[in-house]
């Protein structure tokens, strides 16, 4: 799962970072890549460090959630969940926001 993040914003005050998925990348892959980049872990080490992603959210449901939503790239909502040390928010456009977990 070697992908390059298209956009990365510097971490603003409050401990948040944002990443943009590539067009062909699933939301699940984008989440893993964003956390790997933020935590300095290899994408394959994420599950060892934080447990499997499917323990907190169904990856298939996440990937299919926005497939038929809205048009013209307009976000129709987002999903937020806690994974490891992060509060993760994803939307239809492939934007992944990471905040320090509570």
Tell me, yes or no, whether 47 lies in a domain. Answer: yes
Distance CA(32)–CA(38), nearest Å, equals 10
Task: Please tell me the total count of domains within the chain.
Answer: 1
* Reported pTM: 0.76
Tell me, yes or no, whether 2 lies in a domain. Answer: no
- Show Cβ contacts of residue 90 under 8 Å, excluding neighbours closer than 6 positions: 27, 30, 31, 62, 78, 79, 96, 97
What residue numbers bound the domain in which 79 lies?
A: 7-100
Tell me, yes or no, whether 1 lies in a domain. Answer: no
Q: Is the pLDDT of residue 69 over 90?
A: no
The predicted-structure confidence for 15-41, as pLDDT tens digits, reads as follows: 689 999 998 899 999 999 999 999 989
Q: What is the DSSP string of the chain?
A: -----SEE----TTTEEEEE--TTS-HHHHHHHHHHHHHT--GGGHHHHH--GGGTS-HHHHHHTTTTS-STT----EEEEEETTEEEEEETT-EEEEEE--
């Amino acid at each position: 799962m070697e992908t390059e993040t298209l956009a990365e914003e510097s971490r603003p005050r409050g401990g948040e970072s944002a990443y943009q998925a590539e067009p062909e990348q699933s939301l699940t892959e984008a989440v893993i890549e964003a956390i790997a980049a933020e935590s300095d872990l290899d994408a394959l080490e994420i599950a060892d460090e934080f447990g499997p992603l499917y323990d907190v959210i169904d990856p298939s449901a996440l990937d299919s959630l926005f497939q038929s939503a809205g048009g013209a790239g307009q976000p129709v909502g987002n999903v937020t969940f806690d994974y490891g040390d992060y509060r993760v928010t994803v939307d239809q456009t492939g934007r992944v926001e990471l905040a320090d977990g509570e």
